[in-house]
Amino acid sequence: MMLIIWLALPVLAVLICAGIAGYVGWNLTHPERRPLNDSPANYQLKYEDVRFLSKLKDVQLKGWFLPASTSVPKMTIVFAHGYSMNRLQDDVPALPLVRSLVEAGFQVLLFDFRNSGESEGNLTSVGQLEKEDLLGAVEWVKEHHPGPIGLIGFSMGASTALMAAAEDDSIAGVVADSPFNHLTRYLKKNLPTWSDLPDFPFTRLILALLPRLTGLNPDSVDVLAATERIYPRPILFIHCEDDDKIPYTESEAMLEKYPDRFAMWKPARGKHVGGYRESPEEYTARVIRFFDGLC
């Protein structure tokens, strides 16, 4: 009897670990929505509520369109928010940056990815499906406000923006703040940052179970390969040296491929997507200068 118990213990341990991994993995792809607790009106900004479909036509997405302060806008800049955030990207925060862009003559589209803010959907894919959402936003801009388009993204949104630009050559350039460059490779090294579980045995278990539970394919989120299709269009990488969630080396690996057209600013202070909060004037000046160069 004791022998049977001892033989059963390893099996039970594996089942318990698999159950924990499945539960945590499911929660990571179904994060709780953050409510919209701010408005452009609080920054004296004109805006209109907009809605459009993801390029996949499977979910409706909601956002705000903010016209430029000038009579003739320079271009439209579409924001792409990070994992578990919404269009406000309150860890940046987005609206003060938007105000500066609007005052500089840019019109802006802010929107919520699927399963975020006020948009439909119940699954967060960390780039795979969000790319289609962003392409849907770009299509809305083309239809309603034709002209040059630029993207700015944060964390997951930065990686998503790069993948979207790779598929739509009408996107003139991208500001990528704190992206990862390949989802599977990034998670293999950094998943405990998000799961709050020990690397062994949970990282491998979560990565093995998630595709089966959700139908997602993290290998398809290959941002490094996407940069090859963006070139020679420009990219500005912004990545804090002390980023505590996505190492700045993730951006450096993409920068090194095409240093003649890609540029990088590494703020010495600030954690994940902390560049604006730590140095708002310099951050804003660099972003405006980049987008001015696309007009």
In this structure, the answer to whether residues 20 and 98 fall within a common structural domain is no
What mean pLDDT do residues 160-164 have? Answer: 98
What mean pLDDT do residues 180-198 have? Answer: 96
Residue 54 resides in a domain = yes
User: Of 255, 289, 247, 236, nearest to 272 (Cα)?
Assistant: 247
In this structure, the answer to whether residues 88 and 167 fall within a common structural domain is yes
In this structure, the answer to whether residues 258 and 288 fall within a common structural domain is yes
The range of the structural domain enclosing residue 21 comes to: 1-30+184-220
Residue 7 predicted with pLDDT over 80: no
pLDDT of residue 3: 46
What mean pLDDT do residues 172-176 have? Answer: 98
The reported pTM is 0.96
The single residue listed with the structure tokens 């003060």 is 96
pLDDT of residue 10: 61
Chosen domain end from 220, 248, 272: 220
Q: What is the largest CA-CA distance in the chain?
A: 84
Stronger pLDDT, 244 or 10, i.e. the higher one: 244
CATH number at residue 111: 3.40.50.1820
In this structure, the answer to whether residues 70 and 196 fall within a common structural domain is no
pLDDT of residue 213: 86
pLDDT of residue 6: 46
In this structure, the answer to whether residues 68 and 97 fall within a common structural domain is yes
In this structure, the answer to whether residues 48 and 144 fall within a common structural domain is yes
The rounded Cα 201 to chain-centroid distance in angstroms is 27
What mean pLDDT do residues 154-163 have? Answer: 98
Can you tell me whether residue 171 is helix, strand or coil?
strand
In the structure encoding, which two tokens stand for residue 25, read together?
Answer: 């993995």
pLDDT tens column, 60-101: 999 999 999 998 999 999 999 999 999 999 999 999 999 999
In the structure encoding, which two tokens stand for residue 16, read together?
Answer: 């318990």
Residue 274 predicted with pLDDT over 50: yes
Report the amino acid identity of residue 238. I
Task: Give CA–CA dist 154/175, Å, rounded.
Answer: 9
User: Of 129, 101, 160, 105, nearest to 286 (Cα)?
Assistant: 101
Residue 8 predicted with pLDDT over 50: no
- Percentage of the residues of the chain whose pLDDT score is greater than 70: 95
In this structure, the answer to whether residues 210 and 258 fall within a common structural domain is no
Residue 73 resides in a domain = yes
The single residue listed with the structure tokens 């994060």 is 31
Residue 86 resides in a domain = yes
The rounded Cα 252 to chain-centroid distance in angstroms is 17
For the chain, the domain total comes to: 2
Residue 192 predicted with pLDDT over 70: yes
